[in-house]
Amino acid sequence: MSQSTDATLAPGAAGAEAVDPERRRLLVATCIAGGAASGAVAWPFLASMQPSDRARALGAPVEADISALEPGQQMIVEWQGKPVWIVRRTKEMLATLTQDTAQLADPNSKRSEQPTAAQNEYRSLKPEYLVVVGICTHLGCSPTARFAPNDPSMGPNWPGGFLCPCHGSKFDLAGRVFANMPAPDNLPVPNYKYLSDTKLLIGDETKGA
């Protein structure tokens, strides 16, 4: 297993320079707290901090056990000090990804960061599971889940997705940013692979399902 990875945001990539390691730790903590609060209302939330401090310091790939993740739920793992979201999307959630893509800034993720194997309409190796780095591509805040479709607080025809609390950027359930938002690009998808049906390795340099 690789002990290091090239999957960090490239120098100059949006969000890369805005989030130093200390801030990333804070982002992870903030993300978990926010998720727990929202989960209490409608969306169950699981937090997982699996790698050892040593592994984190080395930036090693981390394993994520998704066996307890129910449809419609989100969990977070920490990788290289960054929150990585894993969302188990329902059929209804997946259906929103092909609707009204004209509203998106980069619907085909041509200028956004993801491994080749995730360069598809779902931005994932398996449609059911979204894996993205939960750091806004504007200035590095961590967006929060707004999964409920037609949430009146999100404006008309909201399909479900994520909202950045800092300057209001909105992302769909594939991490694609809507047009005319402060964030320029979609949320980055890290390299990852499936070790089994219920276990992911995040940050691995080898790609594939």
CA distance 2 to 110: 28
Among 26, 182, 184, 195, binds ligand FES (CB under 6 A): 182
Closest distance between ligand FES and the C-beta of residue 162, in Å? 10
Report the relative pairing of strands 161-163 and 170-171 from DSSP bridges: antiparallel
Q: Which is nearer to ligand FES, 176 or 193 (CB)?
A: 176
Place of tokens 């800092």: 166
Q: How far apart are CA 74 and CA 88, in angstroms?
A: 7
Shortest CB 153 distance to ligand FES, Å = 16
Q: Is 39 helix (H, G, I), strand (E, B) or coil?
A: helix
**Is residue 138 a contact residue for ligand FES (CB under 6 A)?**
yes
Report if residue 183 touches ligand FES, rule: CB under 6 A. Answer: yes
What's the gap between Cα 3 and its chain centre? 22
Residue 13 in contact with ligand FES, rule: CB under 6 A: no
From 23-31, 75-83, 85-93, 135-143, give the range in contact with ligand FES by CB under 6 A. 135-143
Shortest distance (Å) from residue 186 CB to ligand FES: 13
Contact residue for ligand FES among 136, 163, 189, 202 (CB under 6 A): 136
Tell me the CA distances in angstroms from 203 to 44, 183, 185, 187, one per residue in order. 25, 24, 20, 15
Does the protein bind ligand FES through residue 111 (CB under 6 A)? Answer: no
Kindly report the CA angle at 90 between 86 and 92, in degrees rounded to 5?
A: 135
Sequence-distant (6+) residues with CB within 8 A of 169 are 136, 137, 138, 143, 163, 177, 178, 181, 182, 183
- Strand segments (E) across 67-198: 74-79, 82-88, 129-133, 144-146, 161-163, 170-171, 192-196
Residue 14, interface with ligand FES (CB under 6 A)?
no
User: Among 55, 154, 166, 195, which residue interacts with ligand FES (rule: CB under 6 A)?
Assistant: 166
Interaction between residue 139 and ligand FES (CB under 6 A):
yes
The reply to whether 24 sits near ligand FES by the rule CB under 6 A is: no
Q: Is 112 in the site for ligand FES (CB under 6 A)?
A: no
Select 27 or 173, whichever has its Cβ closest to ligand FES.
27
By CB under 6 A, name the one of 8, 169, 186, 191 that touches ligand FES: 169
For ligand FES, the binding residues (CB under 6 A) are: 136, 138-141, 164, 166-169, 182-183
